[in-house]
Structure 1
Amino acid sequence: MPNKEKNPDTFPADVPVCPLCDRPIPEGDGSLHHLIPKLKGGKGGPTVLLHQICHKEIHATLTEAELARSYATVEALRAHPRLDKFLNWVRKRPPGFRSKVPGRRRKR
């Protein structure tokens, strides 16, 4: 009988998937993102569960006003040039990956 080792990169079907990077979100690694920031009228509005690293990159890249005005959907976030570059990079990392060095903040 073949030895069936469990692959650490496989997750049960009920594990949520980050809508930005399409990687499974391990338990305790999710962060709720308001598509319209609470301070810009999004309190009680739509939210999505993201990896913490993906959520941090959004807020390091865009202001609350930019998020409310032009990036209030997952598709719009994915289309942003800096976020697109980040997502291409992070998709190559394991689902539980966390950066030890904080990313650069955008220039204001």
Structure 2
Amino acid sequence: MDNPICPLCGRPIPPGRQSLHHLIPRLKGGKGGPTVLLHQICHKEIHATLTEAELARDFHTVAALKAHPRLARFLAWVARRPPEFHIKSAGGRRKR
């Protein structure tokens, strides 16, 4: 069976690198709502870049996430990495 494709970076997601993202955060009413399967690194970048409120209000679709300037730069960068690429330690939320 082929690995699923990350809808953000377009790379295959190998086993052990998969992460389920709630398009509307659970704490903002998204429990039981739509989810997408992403690379762990892509999922971590979403939450390092955007707050739960921003995700619920403006970035609750894959298209909106891909259009965010900082995420778009990250996705262009990570798309050039192999599917199993990951960062061992993630930093805190980025300052705006």
**TM (normalized to structure 1)?**
0.84
User: What aligned pairs does 1:62-77 form with structure 2 within 5 A after superposition?
Assistant: 62-77=50-65
- Alignment partner, residue 7 of structure 2: 19
User: What aligned pairs does 1:5-84 form with structure 2 within 5 A after superposition?
Assistant: 14-84=2-72
From 56, 63, 76, the counterpart of 1:88 = 76
Deviation at 1:105, TM superposition (A): 2.4
- Structure with the greater alpha carbon radius of gyration: 1
Distance (whole Å) between structure 2 residues aligned to residue 21 and residue 30 of structure 1: 13
Distance (whole Å) between structure 2 residues aligned to residue 56 and residue 26 of structure 1: 16
Unaligned 5+ runs, structure 1: 1-11
Distance (whole Å) between structure 2 residues aligned to residue 50 and residue 103 of structure 1: 19
Percent of aligned pairs with the same residue? 75
Deviation at 1:102, TM superposition (A): 2.2
Name the SS for the 1:105 alignment partner.
coil
Name the SS for the 2:12 alignment partner.
coil
Name the SS for the 2:20 alignment partner.
strand
Bigger helix share:
2
Distance (whole Å) between structure 2 residues aligned to residue 42 and residue 100 of structure 1: 29
8 A Cα contact 1:33 1:49, kept in partner: yes
Distance (whole Å) between structure 2 residues aligned to residue 105 and residue 44 of structure 1: 26
Unaligned 5+ runs, structure 2: none
Supply the AA of the counterpart residue of 2:74.
F
Note the aligned Cα RMSD (angstroms): 1.4
Give the count of matched residue pairs. 96
Deviation at 1:99, TM superposition (A): 1.4
